[in-house]
Structure 1
Amino acid sequence: MAALLLLPLMLSIFLINAHPPPLNTLSHHQQQQQLLLRFKAAVSINGTSLPDWSPLHHFCNWTGVTCHSNSHSVRAINLNQMSLDGTISPVLRNLSSLRSLDLSQNNLTGTIPPQLGQLPNLRILWLNGNQLQGTISPELGNLSSLRSLYLFDNFLAGTIPPQFGQLLNLRALWLGNNTLQGTIPRQLGQLPHLRILRLGYNQLQGTIPPVLSACRSLYFLSLFYNQLNGSIPPELSLLTSLNILYLEFNSLTGTIPSSLANLSSIVELSLDGNELYGPIPSSLGNLSTLTYLTLGENHLEGSIPPELGMLTHLENLSFFANNLSGTIPSSLTNLSNLNCLDLCQNQIGGHIPWEIGTKLSNLVYLSLWGNQLSGNIPNSLGNCSRLEVLFLNKNELGGTVPMELGRLNLLSRLRLHTNQLVSDSSNTLAFLTALTNCSHLQIIDIGGSHFTGILPPSIGQLSSNLYYLGLQDGMISGSIPQQIVNLTNLTFLDLGYNLFSGNIPSGFKRFRELERLSLGGNELEGSIPSEIGQLQRLGLLDLSYNQLSGKIPDSLCSSQQLRYLYLHYNKLSGNIPVSLEGCQKLELLDLSYNKLRGRIPREVIASLKDLAFYLNLSWNSLEGSLPKEMSKIIMAQAIDISGNKLSGVIPNSLGNCIALESLNLSHNGFEGPIPGSLSTLKKSPRNGSFFQ
């Protein structure tokens, strides 16, 4: 019986939804309800969104709807993160009492209806985090009551409407992460109450309008990742309420205005990635509230001003990739709150201040690589208990690696390579043993110095998180410790160009994550362990310039990922295994200067379709004819099969190797004429001739 009584009501609801009556025939209450239902129909294509938006409930109780207590007119719609799809209906223009519309973080598409500009009381319009396209309608400039406009994180194109200069009550304008073009309208300088202007991650061009300095209430100005040019307007120094100024990654030129020192409230200043030149103004040392100062990737020159040592609230100081010279001012060690110091890729010389670790104990990130620093690594760095990243590589640092680094329990990345560091008197690389206390270590890159002695067995006790170990280009001798195979999470292992001797340790199959293995340039003996072929992720294998003997293992190409195989300058013998045809992703294969014999396997050559660099089989004892499949290596830049015992004719089809810059078939027993097809191959930029 109850179901029968509800039937007429349900039927009437269905008819209203299916055939909505004209709004002018409805009461104010019914109009509000109908407008919301029409809006829902547009933003809920799948029909699952906003399930309680139904005539069965009063619309003022619907999810996200707020009404005026007296008139029951819709005052606010807040549907943030409600999985809405579809489009925004222009019917919202009829909700004349609407003060706040938040449809952010949904999946809305289509354009922003220009009719929204007809909402006289709208104060908040947040449409950010959708997939809206098209241009921003100039009609939005009619929203005279608007205080906050968020359209960021969409796909909006076109220009910023100059009509936005009419939004005299606007406090926040955020249009970032779109594809907006054109210039920044100078009319924005007419907004007396504007506090937030965020236009980053667009394609804006032209200069920064000096008239923005008229927005004296501005405290957040972000214009980063655009294509802005010209100089930084000195007038910006009039924005004494400014807390945040982000201008990084544009094409700004000229010098840094010294007048920026007048930004008495500035907390974060970022000018990275521009074309700025000249010195760093010493007046920046007066910005006593500054916590974040980044000027990297410019053309700044001269010395680092000692006055910056007065910025006692500074937490991040980054001047990387400039042309700075001089020394590191000792006054920087007064910045006790500093957690990031990045001065890499400059021309800074002198010593690292010895007290750096004592006074800057809060450092988390220290990057001084790519300079001309000399002297020793300060022992005091062991006091930086929060340090996670230490990059001192590519300098002229000498002495030993401080044992105190073993106290850095949070250290995850250590790069000291390409210096003049030496081993201690014990010749055991004892600092590696100290680093076994650093349980978070992921990267140890210390090659390219003057380390001597043997690798300690304790290397196998390094962090289980270690994935990168670089000890290349030194004078480390002795055998490779068997314990090294305990580092089972390594993806990169480079022990190349040292004085290691003995056999390659067994157990390499435990390196299941290994992608690059470089042992070349040592004095290793014995055979190549067949278990290396079980490294399924191996993309590069370099065993060149050793004394390895025996056959090339058939298992070597069990790894389907192998792209670079260097076995040259060894004493390998036997035939080239046909199983190498399994290395179908090879881009480079070098087996030269060994004792290989027999024919060149046609199957192997036919599989080298991705070979993009070179094939080198020279100076072995290979015999027979040149496989016609050689013509299928069409992308190789060089082929060298000289110094063998090959015979027969040179295949005319070699002319198909259109990318060849060098072809060396000399010191063989080929007969007959040089194929005419080779005359079409391009000449090498190295020697003017491709053929020997």
Structure 2
Amino acid sequence: MITIIEVLVFLLFTFPSCLAQETNVSDYKALLAFKSNLILESINILSSNWSSNTHFCNWLGVSCSNSPDKRVVALQLRGLALRGIISPEIANLTRLLVLDLSSNDLGGTVPSELGLLLQLRLLNLTGNFLQGSIPANISHCQKLEELCISNNMITGSIPEELGLLSNLKALRLNDMNLTGNVPASLGNLSNLQYFYLHENTLLGDIPAEIGKLSHLTLLSFRGNNFTGSLPPLIFNISALQIIDFSINGLSGQLPENLGHWLPNLESLFVDSNRITGRIPVSLSNASKLNNLFLTENNFRGNIPSELGRLLQLEWLELEYNQLSNNTPSSIFNISSLQILEARHNYLSGQLPDDLGLWLPNLQEIYLSHNLFSGEIAPSICNASKLVYLEMSNNSFSGPIPMMLGKLVNLEHLNLQNNLLTSEPQSTHLDFLNSLVNSRNLEYLILGSNPLNGILPDSIGNLSSNLRVIAAESCQIKGSIPRGLGNLSSLSFLGLANNDLEGNIPPSFVGLLNLERLYLTGNNLKGPISAELCSIKSLGILHLGENMLSGSIPIFIKNLTELVEFSLAANSFNSNIPLSFWRLVKLESLNLSRTSLHGFIPPEMGNLKAVRIMDLSSSNFSGDIPNSLGSLQNLVSLDMSRNSFQGPIPDSVRNLIVLESLDLSSNVLSGMIPKALESMQDLKYLNLSFNRLHGEIPQKGVFLNLSYQSLMGNPQICGAPRLGLPSCPTQTSNRRRRTSHVLKITIPIIATFLLVVICCLTWISFYKKKVEGNTAVDSSPRMGHQIITYHELVRATAHFSEANLIGSGSSSMVYKGTLADGTVAAIKVLNMQSEGALKNFNAECEIMCNARHRNLVKIISTCSNMDFKAMVLEFMPNGTLDKWLHSHNNHLNLIQRIDIVTDVALAMEYLHHECTVPIVHCDLKPSNVLLDEEMTAHVADYGISKVLAQDQAMTQTRTLGTIGYIAPEYGLDGHVSTRADVYSFGILLLETFTRKKPTDDMFRGDLSLHQWVNRFFPDSVKVVLDSSLSSDMDFKKESSSAMLEQSLVSIIHVALQCLKESPEERINMRDVGVQLKKIRTESHQYARQGNPKFSNPHTKGL
């Protein structure tokens, strides 16, 4: 018999084995569940490795304990391109210490079940596509030491419960969409060493409790919306090595004792905020400091000389502040210094004579846009590692150092806008000879200095990498060196406004990559050579104000990339060759003040991209070609002081964006085209000194036209206010003849109309029988053929869901192809919606009567008793909302400026150009559609309110969308054109910040308007869409500052639109004027800063 002791011994040895087997099975099932939630094609590496033929402890990324039960303690699958979701059953790995799924493509949410992993020490989910919020019950993982969920798409606020993780050493929640305030409870994480919250949309004050984190070594809150002052206690954490609060809205002053308790500080970043006051002297006590970034704040006063004690400092950024007085010489004695940026301040005085002697590691120095004076010390040439030397826009004087060639690593030299000269004992610019040794030189910018010398031919021996030579307004004499033709990488050559003479050298044929050539304002002679016309990369060619002669060569046709071309004020004496009109990319053409003559051919109409054309003060003759009407991007046209004759072509009506037209001092005859009065953008018109006759139109530009614009046309009449005679009335004989004719013609016309009406009635009756549809109701009359229901069925494939492109409570929109091949948008009315018939009739009437290039046009309608639809223009590029808020789309800066200007012009038309003002009531990005050229068209204006001419506002039910509705709209139901102005202001802000007014960060007391206003104007870049930085590199001078100013101007317009009181808001006419000016300037700046001049979708102005 088996004794009791034997049974107990048996149970003692078999029970743990059974238990271990059970827990093994649990871990095994959890791993299989994890695998089953991954998309199979992405886990080939797991499908072959995670096999039932192998114990799971040997699977890739799986680590087990050494104990007999072999429990899973680590799952590390970093960077395996895993796709799918994280299975909640992973929580069954109850002994898990490490879970690392970082750098994959996992989606879904962070499972709240992870809070059950009570033994977990490390959780790393960084670099995936996780969404949702951070689960609060992660706080149950009390042993957690590292929590890393950064670089995901997680939203919502930071759970206060995370403050319970007392063992946490690293918290990484950066690069996501977190909102709200930072919980004060995080100050309880007493063991925290690494704290990352950068690149979110967190807001409010930084909690003072953060100052209690005594073990903190790295603190990064960069790129949020924090406001208020920096908590002083943070600067008492002696363990801190890196502090980054850059790109926020922080204000106040830095603590005076900031550096006293930071012996380990290596990097301090507080740039791009609104911090004021002086730079604390105590910073000099942070002896380990490597990087000090104070850029783009409002610091005032001196740069403390004590900063010279920071002997490990490598990068010092002080630009865009209000620092003044002399720069302490001690700064130039920091031998470790590599980069010094102090641009855009009020620093003055002279630089030390030993500048460069104690800077052996200096690579970049930026001192432009200050008040420095005196000579540039030759000792700068001892800073042998220098790559960027930027000292423009100061008052430096004296000769440019002769030994610049010792800077063998130099890539960028910018000394423009100073008082620098050449060596007084030499007639040549000999300092250029030494630069031959700088073999990496790419930018040589010397413009606006009184150099007063001759370019040496050795300039052709400069670096083969040289891309830019800018030496405008430098009093340069002599001829253009032939050696310049050796610089085959040159893309920009600016020698305008000098005293150069002789011919343009044939050696220019070697400038294979030249894109911009500026030679305006010299004394150059001779013809335009065939060699110059062989530089096919040329986009801008300015040769004006010289003494060039001969003819325009036929080879000019080879410059197919030409965007700007000026020959103004030269001595050419020929016809324009027919081949010239093949330059179809031209946007700006200036042939004024030459002796060019002959007719302008119909081929002029090929220049469809041209925006500015000046043919004035030459000897052109003949008729103005009717093809002029093809130049629909033309903004300014000057053909004055020539010998043009014949009538003003009627096709001028097609120049829909024309703002300035000067045809004065010609021999034009005929009547003034009445079409000119309907050109709504036309602001300047001069028709003086011609042979025009007849009545002067009374509307549009003629309302404010002065006598000087019409004088010299003795046979015009009809404007008594200008002192011109009234036009003669019809004679009584004429009236009697007219009356007699009417007595005969009226009965004939009446009979004819009666027959037509009978025929139409019969046709209508016949159609009803054939189609089985009820009679057409009393919809507004359209200026087009009404389309049938069956045609729409065929066009949309029976209103297939595949063709559905939009839907709402009152209508659905389908894409369809009509019988003639036209692709259209078919808007089908929901007949069950309230007031459907009335709304349809009103919408049709408004859309038929409103005509503007930036409004969506109606093509046709289909209207029966039980079906109503409108056929509209189809916009292939969808809505502005899609382009702003989809990760697959990007609008560059110029495109955004073009779009908002288009919208402004459409709204100006609705408010100010229609017979009675039309209020849109629901202006927002989803109601702005983009055609194939990215031109904006305002949609859904047909459901708006029409105001009587004597009404400023009317009452209505709420039509608008939350976030875009003006404050007074919600209070009393009143709408007016000023409510649209408010909506447009919100649309402007959304377009350039890429933030919706309903985003989570604006759900409290903070609105989009208030958020932007907080940073305007000094720190406007803080609120801009970060993707715009690729269009506008703020680290470079050129045109980026100008583009930034354009953005400041746009935000200013938006804030004018968003005034609380409707009466204080700007009107859309003034908005249109300001945005058109900004658009014109921005296109110019973009071409200056971008060698490609514009992107394919950029419209002409």
TM-score of the aligned structures, taking structure 2 as reference length: 0.59
Q: 1:37 aligns to what?
A: 32
Aligned equivalent of 1:57, options 21, 34, 54: 54
Structure 1 residue aligned with 2:197? 199
Cα shift readout 1:628-686 (whole Å, capped 9, x = no counterpart)? 23233333321111111111111333233232221111111111222222223335499
Aligned to 1:417: 416
Structure 2 letter corresponding to 1:48: N
Report what 1:122 is aligned to: 120
Map 1:14-413 → 2, pairs under 5 A: 27-46=22-41, 47-50=43-46, 51-70=48-67, 71-262=69-260, 263-413=262-412
Match of 2:716 in 1: none
Work out whether 1:442 is the aligned partner of 2:442: yes
Distance 1:55 1:460, change over 3 A: same
1:429 aligned partner, one-letter code: L
Q: Residue 271 of structure 2 contacts residue 295 of structure 2 at CA under 8 Å; is this kept in 1?
A: yes
Partner of 1:5: none
User: Does the CA-based 8 Å contact 2:589-2:613 persist in structure 1?
Assistant: yes
Give a deviation string over 1:464-503, Cα, whole Å, max 9, x none. Answer: 1111111111111111111111110111111111111111
1:557 Cα offset (Å)? 4.1
Q: Secondary structure at the match of 1:397?
A: strand
After superposition, the Cα gap between the structure-2 partners of 1:481 and 1:35, relative to the gap in structure 1 and judged at 3 Å, is same
Secondary structure of the structure 1 residue equivalent to 2:565: strand
| 1:366 partner letter | I
Verify the 8 A CA contact 1:683 1:689 in the aligned structure 2: no
* SS at structure 2 position matched to 1:86: strand
Equivalents in 2 of 1:542, 1:303: separation in Å? 44
Give percent identity, aligned residues only. Answer: 39
CA distance in structure 2 between the aligned counterparts of 1:556 and 1:185, rounded to whole angstroms: 68
Distance 1:689 1:443, change over 3 A: farther
1:152-191 CA deviation, whole Å, 9 max, x = no partner?
2222222222222122211111122222222222221111
SS of the counterpart of 2:204?
coil
Q: CA deviation at 1:44?
A: 4.1
Q: Which amino acid aligns with 1:74?
A: V
> Do 1:249 and 1:272's aligned partners in 2 also have CA atoms closer than 8 Å?
yes
Q: For each residue in 1:368-389, what CA deviation from the matched residue of structure 2 results, as whole angstroms up to 9, or x when unmatched?
A: 1111111111111111111111
Does the C-alpha gap of structure 1 residues 685 and 58 become closer, same or farther in structure 2, counting only changes over 3 Å? farther
| Superposition deviation, residue 69 in structure 1 | 1.6
Aligned to 2:74, the other structure's residue is in SS state strand
Name the aligned partner's letter for residue 265 of structure 2. Answer: I
- Letter of the aligned partner of 2:171 in structure 1? L
| Shift, 1:366, TM fit | 0.8
1:229: Cα distance to partner? Answer: 1.2
Q: Distance in 2 between matches of 1:366 and 1:55?
A: 63
1:222 is displaced (CA, Å) by 0.8
CA distance in 1, matches of 2:140, 2:561: 60
Residue in structure 2 matched with residue 19 of structure 1 by the alignment: none
Question: 2:482 is matched with which residue?
Answer: 482
> Letter of the aligned partner of 2:44 in structure 1?
T
2:661–2:685: 8 Å Cα contact kept in structure 1? no
Runs of 5+ consecutive residues of structure 1 not aligned to the other structure? 1-23
> RMSD value over aligned CA atoms?
2.1
Counterpart-to-counterpart distance in 2, 1:227 and 1:632: 49
Deviation by residue 1:601-639 (Cα, 9 ceiling, x = unmatched): 3223x2333334x11111111122222232333333211
Report if aligned partners of 1:236, 1:260 keep a CA contact under 8 Å in 2: no
CA distance in 2, matches of 1:674, 1:301: 61
In structure 1, C-alpha distance between the alignment counterparts of 2:148 and 2:583, rounded to whole Å:
53
- Partner Cα separation in structure 2 for residue 627 and residue 188 of structure 1: 75
The equivalent position to 1:631 in structure 2, one of 629, 637, 642, is: 629
Contact 1:134 1:158 in 2 (8 A): yes
Q: CA–CA distance in 1 between the matches of 2:155 and 2:175? A: 11
Q: Separation in 1 of the partners of 2:164 and 2:603? A: 74
The residue number in structure 2 matching 1:21 is none
Moved more, 64-73 or 624-633: 624-633
Question: Which runs of 5 or more structure 2 residues have no equivalent in the other structure?
Answer: 1-18, 687-703, 711-1101
Q: Distance in 2 between matches of 1:580 and 1:466?
A: 31
The answer to whether the Cα contact below 8 Å between 2:405 and 2:435 also exists between their aligned partners in 1 is yes
Worse-matched range after superposition: 577-586 or 360-369: 577-586
> In structure 2, how many angstroms separate the alpha carbons of the residues matched to 1:150 and 1:561?
51
For residues 618-657 of structure 1, what are the structure 2 equivalents within 5 Å?
618-657=616-655
Distance 1:651 1:135, change over 3 A: farther
Distance 1:49 1:617 in 2: 70
CA contact 2:177–2:200 (8 Å) conserved in 1: yes
Q: CA deviation at 1:26?
A: 8.1
- Which deviates the most, 421-430 or 565-574? 565-574
**Aligned equivalent of 2:589:** 589
Amino acid at match of 1:402: P
The 3 A distance-change label for structure 1 pair 25 and 235 is: closer
Q: What amino acid is aligned across from residue 254 of structure 1 in structure 2?
A: G
Does structure 1 residue 528 correspond to structure 2 residue 525?
no
Please say if residues 558 and 582 of structure 1, whose CA atoms lie closer than 8 Å, have aligned partners that are also in contact: no
What are the superposed Cα offsets for residues 290-314 of structure 1, whole Å, 9 maximum, x if unpaired? 1211111111111111121121221
Aligned to 2:770: none
Q: In the alignment, what sits opposite 1:668?
A: 666
Judge conservation of contact 1:49–1:84 (CA < 8 Å) in 2. no
SS at match of 2:675: helix
What is the Cα deviation at residue 115 of structure 1? 2.0
Q: How much does 1:235 deviate?
A: 2.2
The amino acid of 1:600's aligned partner reads I
2:465 is matched with 465
Counterpart secondary structure, 2:400:
coil
CA distance 1:533–1:115, shift in 2 (3 Å): farther
Taking the aligned partners of 2:590 and 2:427, their CA distance within structure 1 comes to 35
Find the aligned partners of 2:404 and 2:220 in 1 and give their Cα distance.
39
Amino acid at match of 2:661: L
User: Is contact 1:447–1:471 with CA below 8 Å preserved after alignment?
Assistant: yes
Name the counterpart of 1:4. Answer: none
| Code of the aligned partner of 1:33 | Y
Tell me by how many angstroms 1:212 deviates: 0.7
Q: Do 1:618 and 1:643's aligned partners in 2 also have CA atoms closer than 8 Å?
A: yes
Bigger Cα Rg = 2
Counterpart residue number, 2:506 = 506
Larger displacement relative to structure 2 (567-576 or 481-490)? 567-576
CA–CA distance in 2 between the matches of 1:532 and 1:158?
Answer: 61
TM-score, normalised with respect to structure 1: 0.92
Q: Distance in 2 between matches of 1:212 and 1:526?
A: 74
Structure 1 pair 49/87, CA: closer, same or farther in 2 (3 Å)? farther
SS in 1 for 2:370: coil
Query: Could you list the per-position Cα deviations for residues 303-341 of structure 1 after superposition, in whole angstroms to 9, with x for gaps in the alignment?
Result: 111121121221111100111110111121331211111
